[in-house]
């Protein structure tokens, strides 16, 4: 059985797990399965820090199951995102539904080619200055050039806040300066 089939059927999910605020995974086992007792913490952590739960032989991400149990199905084109960027925090108040674009911008890791250490900042070889570029809704917004990468990062943050307020989009991608 595929993960989408299980996720589309909350009765199948509830037959194996139930939501619990005191569980580290956000879920507890609703029946005795192999070595796990009923009411024990459901699932285990993956190498990437996500809690996963096995239901009917299929490994599922716990945060998706928590969302489904509280809110129903996840619409196509949407992802369940952790508001605080902590992949193991599956409390329902920490989860939100986002379209793919905003969720990918919420990544806490910078690309492997990033040389500035900040999101949206790159060095111009010709001038030696740091350029700010915010990309939203497929559009590039130029924020200017600055002598230091810290100044550029502050300008990026200002642009991101302005964009968020203007477009009603969650504010997710600020640089720590």
Pairing of strands 121-123, 130-136: antiparallel
CATH number of the structural domain 109-167: 3.30.730.10
What does the chain come to in residues?
A: 177
User: What would the mean pLDDT of 19-35 be, rounded to a whole number?
Assistant: 78
Task: Give the sheet arrangement for strand 130-136, strand by strand.
Answer: 121-123, 130-136, 139-146
CA distance 104 to 81: 10
pLDDT at 35: 63
Of 94-98, 111-115, 121-125, the poorest mean pLDDT is in 111-115
Q: Label residue 152 by pLDDT band (50, 70, 90).
A: very high
Cα 164 → chain centroid: 17
Q: What mean pLDDT value characterizes the chain?
A: 81
The answer to which of 38-42, 59-63, 127-131 has the lowest mean pLDDT is 38-42
pTM for the whole structure: 0.59
CATH topology of domain 3-102: Homing Intron 3 (I-Ppo) Encoded Endonuclease; Chain A (3.90.75)
Q: How far apart are CA 94 and CA 27, in angstroms?
A: 14
% pLDDT > 90, the chain: 16
Listed by start position, the domains of the chain span: 3-102, 109-167
Helix spans in 15-148 (H): 62-71, 100-105
């Amino acid at each position: 059985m595929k993960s989408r089939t299980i996720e589309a059927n909350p009765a199948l999910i509830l037959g194996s797990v139930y939501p619990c605020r005191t569980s580290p995974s956000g879920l507890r086992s609703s029946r005795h399965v192999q070595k796990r007792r009923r009411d024990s913490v459901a699932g285990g952590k993956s190498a990437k820090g996500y809690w996963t739960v096995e239901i009917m032989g299929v490994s599922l991400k716990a945060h998706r199951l928590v969302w489904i149990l509280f809110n129903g199905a996840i619409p196509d084109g949407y992802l369940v995102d952790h508001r605080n960027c902590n992949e193991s925090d599956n409390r329902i108040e920490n989860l939100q539904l986002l379209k793919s674009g905003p969720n990918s911008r919420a990544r806490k890791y910078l690309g492997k080619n990033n040389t500035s250490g900040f999101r949206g900042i790159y060095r111009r070889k010709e001038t030696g200055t740091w350029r700010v570029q915010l990309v939203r809704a497929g559009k590039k917004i130029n924020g200017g050039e600055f002598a230091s990468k810290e100044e550029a990062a502050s300008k990026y943050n200002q642009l991101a806040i302005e964009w968020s307020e203007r477009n009603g989009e969650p504010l997710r991608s600020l640089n720590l300066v």
